[in-house]
Amino acid sequence: MKFLSLNRALATDFLVDFVRAEVRKFGFEKVVLGLSGGIDSALSAAFAVRALGASQVLAYALPHAASAPSSLEDARAVASALGIELQVIDITAAVEALRASLACDDARGLGNIKARVRMICLYERSRSERALVLGTSNKTELLLGYGTQHADMASGLNPLGDLYKTQVFALAEHVGLPRVVIDKAPSADLWVGQRDEDELGFSYSDVDRLLVRMIDRRESDEDLVDDGFALDFVESIRSKVRNAQYKRQAPIIAKVGLRTIGIDFLYQRDWGR
Amino acid sequence: MSARRPFTACLAQTSPRLGDVAHNLEQHREAIERARSEEAQLIVFPELALTGYRLRDLTFEVALGRRSAVVDELAALSKGIDVLTGFVEESDDHRFYNVAAYFSAGRLLHVHRKVYLPTYGLFEEGRFFAEGTRFDAFETGFGRVGVLVCEDVWHLSAAYAYFLQDVDWLYVISSGPGRGLPEAGKEPSSGKAWNSVLVACASFFQVGVIFVNRVGWEDGVKFWGGSKYVDPSGEVRSEAGQVEAELVYAELDARDLRLSRIHTPLRRDERPSILAQLIARLTDEGSLL
């Protein structure tokens, strides 16, 4: 846990304050999020409940017929522990219609369609309920590009984006999330039997120990290898981070005028807020 | 020497709205009114309290001339209570400065233009602001004062410059972001380092140090608050929290200055001429940048 340990109470206070401040600045009182039954969405929801109150957190389970039944059970356990209402919207019909129209039989393609249909559901609820979409992507996923653009990576604000997965686990313990979501193996549940760590080929604990030193402490490959990380692991992670840079940014715009959005039209999002 | 009476300072730990001077001016009016009702004689606001911090292109849209209506109103608000606050000053030749302005008895008494503009990591001040070039102490009704803006205090020579000018009080206004949340400690790593620097300044220079840092968020950057008064012996006397906007009061007592300087007469024994000779020699050799 060297370099990954953090002051859990203070981090919780800050992230709860972040959710409260950024939601209210934009004239909202509520957030909407998908509760997958996993630890990330559970932690985001827990911060939102502390920030805004349980009645202001609109949680949706968005199962597909092929989703693991345990995911929905775990989402219910989280909602019950947090005292929030969980609504279920089945995405099977929408996904299957798109699968047929697009003649998509690729597992990854179908996984992306499911993730993007979930985004559409949340953004429609965002509009109808006047609630901001709360993000659930952690720093490990964002750095590795282990997420779908315009899908699970889409949100209005994201309290987890600077927390490594290891830190998400630590804060989940701190805020007292149900044991079942802390103990189970992380999974995007986009196909039967999917497990993050099998798909990635390494454990979150190993990659977080590497990432915190590579990114936050700016250590060189030589230093990392000297300290016992395998060179091919270091190189493959550095390349994943570089290759996913596009996913973390707005689309690039060609400069034609004097002041160009994203280049020299320099205003913060919180402009006037 | 006539004994000065202790006075009450209000540390106004606000959360400015980015780029909205009218809103932030209203925050000033309300805080000044409350501080006045608590019989404070001085109120100190954070760096860029009238504008917010991460201004970028807004710098040019929120800037104020010294003869602007907002500056006139701040001056008018300073009747019966001294006011120190931060905004963007546009000079007559259209340079933009990050300033701390001290108002007293209905007029603008002093302006400090921030000298050290952080331009690294998340900071971009050097892209938008012109640098100040002076550390000038000035007299107030409560004693001799030196003002620093945020990064200024991290250059020890800045507070030393005021030490040489025999100031009683150092007022540091800040928009300091929290960076790092280590397991041990009660504030972000950046806050812990700040506290050490403030206590060191009070102890090295035997001055009372008022530090006012903002709270709130701008695009995910949290300003960590922690406003405080550190007395001339280096003791933290009043302290605000790290999350909420709040007004905290501190009593500043000139007798503390006297006592600390009797216990350890650092200014009496300081030999600035040694440093002056070194600077002159290095300048002659062309090795001083």
* Interchain CB contact of B19 with A (< 8 Å): yes
- Which residue type, as a one-letter code, is found at position A242? R
pLDDT per position as a tens digit, B104-142: 999 999 999 999 999 999 999 999 999 999 999 999 999
Q: In three state form, how does the secondary structure of chain B look? A: CCCCCCEEEEEEECCCCCCCHHHHHHHHHHHHHHHHHCCCCEEECCCCCCCCCCCHHHHHHHCECCCCHHHHHHHHHCCCCEEEEEEEEECCCCCEEEEEEEEECCEEEEEEECCCCCCCCCCCHHHHCCCCCCCCCEEECCEEEEEEEHHHHHCHHHHHHHHHCCCCEEEEEECCECCCCCCCCCCCHHHHHHHHHHHHHHHHHCCEEEEEECCCEECCEEECCCCEEECCCCCEEEECCCCCCEEEEEEECHHHHHHHHHHCCHHHHCCHHHHHHHHHHHHHCCCCC
* Chain B: residue whose CA lies nearest to A6: B183
The pair of structure tokens assigned to B139 is: 């007299």
* Interchain CB contact of B192 with A (< 8 Å): no
pLDDT at B181 over 90: no
CA–CA gap between residue A144 and residue A165 (Å, rounded): 12
Q: Which of B18, B187, B243 is facing A270, going by the closest CB pair?
A: B18
Q: Which of B20, B216, B219 is facing A272, going by the closest CB pair?
A: B20
Query: E-strand spans in A191-249?
Result: none
Torsion A144-A147-A150-A153 (CA) sign: negative
Distances (CA, A) of B60 to B4, B99, B113, B119: 42, 14, 16, 18
Residues of B in contact with A272 (CB under 8 A): 17-20
Residue A125, SS3 per DSSP: helix
- Determine, for residues A17 and B222 on separate chains, whether the beta-carbon distance falls below 8 Å: yes
- A vs B, Cβ pairs < 8 A, gives 65
**Local confidence pLDDT in tens for the 273 residues of chain A:** 789 999 999 999 999 999 999 999 999 999 999 999 999 999 999 999 999 999 999 999 999 999 999 999 999 999 999 999 999 999 999 999 999 999 999 999 999 999 999 999 999 999 999 999 999 999 999 999 999 999 999 999 999 999 999 999 999 999 999 999 999 999 988 888 889 999 999 999 999 999 999 999 999 999 999 999 999 999 999 999 999 999 999 999 999 999 999 999 999 999 999
DSSP category for residue A13: H
Q: How many residues are present in chain B? A: 289
Contact B10, B38 (CB under 8 A): yes
Angle at A161 between CA A160 and CA A166, to 5 degrees: 65
pLDDT computed for residue A149 by the predictor: 96
Q: Among B127, B218, B223, B246, pick the best mutation site for testing chain A contact (most A Cβ within 10 A).
A: B218
A-proximal residues of B, 48-77, CB under 8 Å: 52, 54, 56-58
**Beta strand pairing call for B208-213 and B169-174:** parallel
* Interchain CB contact of A6 with B (< 8 Å): yes
Look at the block and give the residue holding tokens 């950046």. Answer: B190
Residues of B in contact with A265 (CB under 8 A): 57
pLDDT at B2 over 80: no
pLDDT computed for residue B211 by the predictor: 98
Minimal Cα–Cα distance from A256 to chain B, Å?
A: 19
**Torsion (CA) B118, B121, B122, B123 in degrees, nearest 10:** 10
pTM of the model: 0.94
CA–CA gap between residue A188 and residue A71 (Å, rounded): 10
- Determine, for residues B182 and A5 on separate chains, whether the beta-carbon distance falls below 8 Å: yes
- Determine, for residues B181 and A7 on separate chains, whether the beta-carbon distance falls below 8 Å: yes
Averaged pLDDT of chain B: 96
* Interchain CB contact of B183 with A (< 8 Å): yes
ipTM: 0.89
Q: pLDDT above 90 covers what percent of chain B?
A: 92
- Determine, for residues B181 and A267 on separate chains, whether the beta-carbon distance falls below 8 Å: no
Minimal Cα–Cα distance from A153 to chain B, Å?
A: 16
* Chain A: residue whose CA lies nearest to B223: A14
* Chain B: residue whose CA lies nearest to A25: B17
Q: Among B123, B129, B181, pick the best mutation site for testing chain A contact (most A Cβ within 10 A).
A: B181
Residues of B in contact with A270 (CB under 8 A): 18, 52, 54, 217-219
CA–CA gap between residue B268 and residue A107 (Å, rounded): 79
pLDDT computed for residue B1 by the predictor: 46
Minimal Cα–Cα distance from A18 to chain B, Å?
A: 7
pLDDT computed for residue B186 by the predictor: 81
Torsion B259-B262-B268-B270 (CA) sign: negative
* Interchain CB contact of A22 with B (< 8 Å): yes
Residues 6+ apart with CB under 8 A from B249: B8, B9, B10, B11, B38, B40, B238
Residue A209, SS3 per DSSP: helix
pLDDT computed for residue B180 by the predictor: 86
pLDDT computed for residue A101 by the predictor: 98
pLDDT at B3 over 60: no
* Interchain CB contact of B188 with A (< 8 Å): yes
Q: Is A47 exposed, middle or buried (0-12, 13-18, 19+ CB in 10 A)?
A: buried
